[in-house]
A and B are shown apart, each in its own frame.
Chain A
Amino acid sequence: MALSEKDVQYVAKLARLEVTDPEVAKYTQQLANILEYVEQLNKLDTTQVEPLTHPLDVKNVFRPDEPKPSLTQAEVLSNGPEVQSGHFKVPKIM
């Protein structure tokens, strides 16, 4: 599968990453190599294989609906670069 520079710019934008033009060229090559490597899997015939969504053969791991202590407000906000009246302060959204 051919990967274009446009694809890389698009993915970078979705991931909110700022990339320079030389970086785009570099990543396009690197990502293309990775995809090409993974592509090898397509050579296998998987028509008889059930899709796997989780590597472990485990199902239904549940937790009872019982409250556990939360963090204190001060602890919650302690990593916030900016806080205001008990809230995280985030930049203008639109």
Chain B
Amino acid sequence: MPTEYEPVIGLEVHCELKTATKLFCGCRTTFGNEANTQVCPVCLGLPGTLPVLNEKAVEYAVKIGLALNCTIAQYAKMDRKNYYYPDLPKAYQISQYDKPLNYGGYLEVPLKEGIKRIGVTRAHLEEDAGKLVHAGGKAGRLDSSDYSLADYNRGGIPLVEIVSEPDIRSADEAYAYLTELKNILLYIDVSDCNMEEGSLRCDANVSIRPKGTEKFGTRTEIKNMNSFKFAKQAIEYEIKRQAALLDKGERVVQESRLWDVTENKTKTMRSKEEAHDYRYFPEPDLVPIILSGDYVRKIKDQLPELPGAKRARFASKYGLTAYDAGVLTADQELAHWFEEGAKHTKSPKGLANWIMGDMAAKMKEQEKELKDLEFDQKKLGELVDLMEAGTINSKQAKEVFAEMFDAGVSPAEVVKSRGLAQVSDPKAIEGAVDKVLSENPNVVADYKGGKQGVIGFLVGKVMQASRGKANPKLVNEILKKKLDA
């Protein structure tokens, strides 16, 4: 019988902070500008220059720590991580080693089976490295290039590295963790989290162990996963690869591996510093960071309601399912839009259905964002209430919605001007029902003979006679009553 394995996964996420300037100098952090035009003697590491810490970066880093339920260090310092690699001209990266700004936190991740708490070991501040383009040889391929081109515009941009505990047990959990983390970072407004531009990057430590055992297996580190989808695929692949090795009686080698998007597999990556001996020591050019309780409290007071709390509140306050609450809070702006709308309807659940259904579909189709909409929440609330009250049926509501979406008109006015109001007067419907029954004696006979399914045909006839305006529920009821009488 094959051994059943349990994956053990930890994630390292690098998040670029959206400060205007770099971590230690006044160079701008704009993405996509011409190479080496946002560089100064400090980020170039010229002799005699001194770094000075960006106060906004410290504030953002603390904000991240608080949002991830971390302890904020009373005493933090910066350290030098020494390595020779041309992505940093100084031959060291200023990072944090034994006294990080934030440590000992957790993230509550919504999974299908409920909420899972995943530990956050630390979230520390460091500078980003420059960008290398590997050229010559097979272009873009590190292993066959003849030389590299270095652009230091990115070098020195503030990063927060968020390290999880090895609490993650599947690729799906990793995906959920990343999604929730990104959502939180967007909510607290500290990063663009744009993966294509590299402002959010992720590495995964993956190992497996026989199910039921405690001891961790040998892990590999997967790099170069520049989307959550790739991260999930890479982790899934790596779990299978390691299981196949162990099943064959072979060993997993501790190494860094790259996710190859074109071949859909992880590949061995020769390491940039063979010895991985970074010789950390306290950065002598920077003084310690000692934050007061007041400072931390002030930042804490500025934190918005975070996605987890918002989801729980949406579910209980508006009677939404966990899924609906998740969709509506995945975007802070959408969540706000919904909440404003809920003030204008008797049925927040109905409103949620419209937002996630027709509205989302039409917005996607016409590539519109919330700010581009022709109508406001009050109008959509009006439509929801017209439908809930039975004034219009769902088919009519769709027509009214389309007109409101395109022209921004009020649903009540559309109903009035197009004479759409649903007929819910039993007397009027009874008249139409009687007429249809007398015109279709054969169908009535079929029904009485036991073919109850033919009632659908009769409902259709009545609806047709009323030009779609009759309340279908009432039509059904009245028909049944008369036929069964």
Contacts and interface: CB of A to CB of B under 8 A. Distances in A.
Contact of A92 (B44, B147, B287, B288): B147
A10 B284 CA distance: 24
Contact of A59 (B25, B41, B133, B288): B288
B39 A54 contact: no
Interface string B28-49: 1000001111111100100000
A88 B149 contact: yes
Contact of B287 (A56, A71, A77, A89): A56
- Size bracket of the A interface: 35 or more
Interface string A58-94: 1111111111111111001100000011111111111
- Size bracket of the B interface: 35 or more
Nearest to A53: B282
Best-surrounded residue of B99, B150, B152 (most CB of chain A within 10 A) = B150
Chain A residues touching B, majority SS = loop
12 contacts: A10-B275, A14-B277, A54-B287, A58-B287, A59-B288, A67-B20, A69-B26, A70-B37, A71-B39, A73-B37, A85-B35, A91-B147
Nearest 8 CB-CB pairs, A to B? A68-B26, A87-B149, A65-B56, A62-B55, A86-B35, A53-B282, A88-B150, A63-B52
Contact of A61 (B34, B53, B282): B53
Chain B residues touching A, majority SS = loop
A59 B26 contact: no
A94 B143 contact: yes
A65 B55 contact: yes
B287 A67 contact: no
A16 interface: yes
B81 to A, nearest CB: 13
A93 B36 CA distance: 20
A65 B289 contact: no
Contacts of A90: 86, 132, 147-150
Interface in A23-74: 53-54, 56, 58-73
A93 to B, nearest CB: 6
